[in-house]
Structure 1
Amino acid sequence: MENKRFDPKNADKLMSQERKDQLQPDKVIEHLHVSTDDVVADLGAGPGLFTIPIAKQTKHDVYAVDIEPEMLERLQTHAEKENIENIEPIVSDLEDIKLPDDSVTRVFNSFVIHEVSDLNKSIQEIKRILKPEGQLLLIDWEAVESESGPPLEIRIPSQKMADVLKENGFDTELFHLNPNHYAIKASKGEH
């Protein structure tokens, strides 16, 4: 669905100081427990609000996956300004992620899962690329009215999202970052 997708022309809003203050990317990614040995995929990386702080925590490449090449170009520009060299941009949707099976130990997905056309397929793809016992941190808009964010009718309620993850074999822990945003930590089992 084209109308669900964020317009790359508005990418600067995603990196604004106001948004950084509101979301506190460094604090949010603490929930993912990234170590220097983790291989991380940031699905829906956009211009790098979360990708860049994640890349600072691991010695491996961070796969910055986004469907919009323009977003990844902006991410590269932001990374260069901070002398970050361990980000590998990958143009891909989330229903056929261009990464091999069992290739990452951590997946970060923020504010994009509501844009996919097949939620279960996207969750299965996340599961496919995660190594056994890998971790997912998913952040999205709660299904409540708010001044910013996507239209209410395309938001996925937090409990529904947690249920879909469980149905697809993940162990989940749901919590709210604030009244408008929820986070789900999800673990892939050993198989």
Structure 2
Amino acid sequence: MVNPERRNLLPPETILQQLDIVPEHVVADIGCGPGYFSLPLAQLSSTVYGVDVSQEMLDILAQRAAAAGVHHIQLIRAPAEQIPLPDATVDRALCAFVLHEVDDLQQTLAELHRLLKPDGKLMIIEWDTKPMDMGPPLDERMDMEELAKQVQAAGFYTETRRLNPYHYMVLAWK
């Protein structure tokens, strides 16, 4: 989903400021899709991993990155539950609109914890649970406070924020 309406609701440059990324940071966009956040991340960091289970999405991201002259996004085809990177590799991770789709939430959160360096920071963005005309079915969505508890159970400290009437964020750090 890369369209102007999404940019108004979720301006990536503004949202990503909350990750405090510096050029030396290694950043992972988990469930990167066509690169809505990956490309702006590449403007902030010299090393970006775009991770997605879908080869089609990775191919689209590769095309978009090439068209934008971005050559430092490393694409990885993998499920969020099992990412083939060494422990404590990543300074910052983003997981936008992914956790409601994973098969094993606890395993995914444990994997994100494993990937992050000791001072690492994770940003999770998800859909609010109220009825609306967009997003996944209501029964697939996760309550913000419940998700924060799950993230805490995986070993993170958390802070929650509403981004707009439709989306929320859980910021987490080790």
TM-score scaled by length of structure 2: 0.98
Structure 2 unaligned segments of length 5 or more: list them: none
Aligned to 2:60: 74
- 1:179 to partner: Cα distance: 1.6
1:17-39 deviation per Cα after TM superposition (whole angstroms, max 9, x unaligned): 22122211111111111101100
Aligned to 1:84: 70
Question: Hey, what's the Cα distance between the residues in 1 that align with 2:62 and 2:16?
Answer: 20
Question: Hey, what's the Cα distance between the residues in 2 that align with 1:143 and 1:99?
Answer: 32
Which of the numbers 27, 32, 52 marks the counterpart of 1:45?
32
Structure 1 unaligned segments of length 5 or more: list them: 1-13
Matched, 1:162 2:155: no
Alpha-carbon contact 2:9-2:164 (below 8 Å) kept: no
Which of the numbers 112, 122, 130 marks the counterpart of 1:136?
122
4+ aligned runs moved over 6 Å, structure 1: none
Question: Hey, what's the Cα distance between the residues in 2 that align with 1:150 and 1:172?
Answer: 24
Aligned to 1:4: none
- 1:180 to partner: Cα distance: 1.2
Indicate the SS of the match to 1:135: strand
Matched, 1:28 2:15: yes
**How many matched pairs?**
174
Two-structure CA RMSD over aligned residues (Å)? 0.8
Question: Hey, what's the Cα distance between the residues in 1 that align with 2:5 and 2:61?
Answer: 18
- What amino acid maps onto 2:10 in structure 1? L
Question: Hey, what's the Cα distance between the residues in 1 that align with 2:54 and 2:61?
Answer: 11
Question: Hey, what's the Cα distance between the residues in 2 that align with 1:22 and 1:167?
Answer: 30
Identity of aligned pairs, percent? 39
1:151-180 deviation per Cα after TM superposition (whole angstroms, max 9, x unaligned): 000101100110001111101010000121
Question: Hey, what's the Cα distance between the residues in 2 that align with 1:156 and 1:99?
Answer: 27
